[in-house]
């Protein structure tokens, strides 16, 4: 069984990689399996974790869970054309809950915390230690303050980017470009590590060419 699983994994891995040559039946077969298996995987996982784990095992202690199940059931009414409009109710609940949650969470984590972390003293002066900061730290802090401020200026589209405002926006673009470059570098690294993992599987686990 283990041997079969190993060969099956290798067959499917090579099937997906064969797309690098061109779209072909081997790739399409692997892709079709991936779609079916993935849909089944998430279906089963949600069924056991959410429906059984959260609703079925908990409704005796918390009857209010039936409201969630009822809303979920209403979603299925989409399949009945005459009363399909009722399926908007659970959708409205999801939209309302997401809006309410995100409004407060984003206000706290994306705005308050970030602004607070940006507005920090560049250095400290005390009788005991005197002037306490390295020039490197001061420059880095200034870069963060200037970068955050000018980046925000760039995102402010209600005023035309001209004059001093346009200059600040231009500096902001430079910082945003560095951010995109860094994110790109990280993405490439993560994809490469996945590729190395698959090569390691093919050459090591399957063919036994590397130890």
Q: Which of residues 143-182 bind other proteins (CB under 8 A)?
A: 143-152, 154-155, 172-182
The closest of 138, 179, 170, 201 to 7, measured between CA atoms, is 201
Instruction: Select from 80, 133, 188, 207 the one that contacts other proteins (CB under 8 A).
Output: 188
Query: Which element (helix H / strand E) includes 131?
Result: strand 130-132
Torsional sign, CA 190, 196, 200, 202: positive
In the complex, the smallest distance separating the C-beta of residue 142 from other proteins, rounded to whole angstroms, is 9
| Nearer CB in complex with other proteins: 40/167 | 40
Select the residue interacting with other proteins from 24, 80, 95, 132 (CB under 8 A). 95
How many residues line the site for other proteins (CB under 8 A)?
Answer: 116
**54 sits near other proteins (criterion: CB under 8 A):** yes
Any contact of residue 92 with other proteins (CB under 8 A)? yes
Instruction: Decide: 52 and 69 in contact? Cβ < 8 Å.
Output: no
Among 24, 44, 80, 125, binds other proteins (CB under 8 A): 44
Residues 6+ apart with CB under 8 A from 20: none
Q: How far apart are CA 20 and CA 126, in angstroms?
A: 63
- Closer residue to other proteins (CB): 47 or 123: 47
Site string for other proteins, 105-144 (x = CB under 8 A): -xx-xxx--xx-xx-----------------x---x--xx
Torsion of CA 124, 127, 128, 134, to 10 degrees: 30
């Amino acid at each position: 069984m283990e041997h079969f699983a190993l060969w099956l994994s290798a067959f499917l891995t090579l099937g997906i990689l064969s797309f690098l040559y061109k779209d072909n039946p081997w790739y399409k077969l692997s892709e079709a399996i991936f779609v079916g298996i993935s849909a089944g995987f998430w279906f089963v996982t949600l069924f056991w974790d959410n429906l059984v784990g959260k609703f079925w095992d908990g409704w005796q202690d918390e009857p209010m869970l039936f409201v969630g199940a009822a809303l979920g059931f209403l979603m299925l009414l989409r399949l009945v054309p005459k009363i399909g409009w009722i399926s908007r109710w659970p959708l409205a609940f999801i939209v309302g809950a997401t809006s309410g949650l995100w409004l407060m969470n984003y206000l706290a984590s994306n705005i308050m915390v970030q602004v607070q972390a940006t507005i920090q003293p560049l250095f400290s002066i005390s009788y005991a230690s005197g002037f306490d900061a390295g020039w490197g730290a001061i420059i880095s802090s200034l870069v963060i303050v200037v970068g955050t401020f000018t980046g925000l200026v760039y995102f402010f589209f209600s005023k035309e980017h001209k004059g001093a405002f346009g200059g600040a926006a231009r500096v902001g673009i430079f910082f945003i470009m560095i951010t995109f470059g860094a994110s790109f570098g990280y993405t490439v690294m993560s994809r490469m590590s996945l590729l190395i993992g698959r090569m390691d599987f093919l050459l090591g686990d399957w063919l036994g060419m590397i130890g």
